[in-house]
Amino acid sequence: MDCIFCKIINKEIPSYKIYEDDTVYAFLDLNQEHCGHTLIVPKEHFQDIDDIPNDKLMYIFDIARKLKKELTEKLNCEGIALTQNNGFIQEVKHFHLHLLPYYKNNVQMTIEEVYDKLK
């Protein structure tokens, strides 16, 4: 399988990992829409929301709640959007949940600066 997220999970491609356990891998998106843009990806390959079992889906949202708190505290963002795409708008065909921090002021940080704050 030629899935970029599977390659990231398997450490074939480097990433800015911010969380990992037996079920999920969370890392900073290299194309940050907002400082701290994070992806939560199940380690098992599921294409989209129609493919992923409910227990895995609920677990991902539990981790999202945990990471939302961490992003809010460490990056001082004022809000976080959770986004999940399906079908033709899904760029990578491996289920993933986006956490997109929002700031009242225009916050600019490099991905390395964000990563250092989250370590």
Q: What is the pLDDT of residues 52-83, one digit of tens each?
A: 999 999 999 999 999 999 999 999 999 999 99
Number of domains in the chain: 1
Residue 1's pLDDT is what? 67
Query: Which residue range forms the structural domain that includes residue 59?
Result: 4-118
Catalytic residue numbers?
96
Rg (CA), the chain: 14
Q: What's the CATH number where 31 sits?
A: 3.30.428.10
Per-residue CA distances from 20 to 90, 101, 109 (Å): 23, 20, 23
From first CA to last CA, the distance across the chain in angstroms is 31
State the DSSP H helix or E strand holding residue 99, giving kind and residue range, or none if neither: strand 97-102
pTM: 0.95
Q: Phi-psi region for residue 36, left (φ > 0), alpha (ψ -120 to 50) or beta?
A: left
How many whole angstroms separate alpha carbon 90 and alpha carbon 88?
A: 5
pLDDT in tens, 27-53: 999 999 899 999 999 999 999 999 999
CA distance 106 to 11: 33
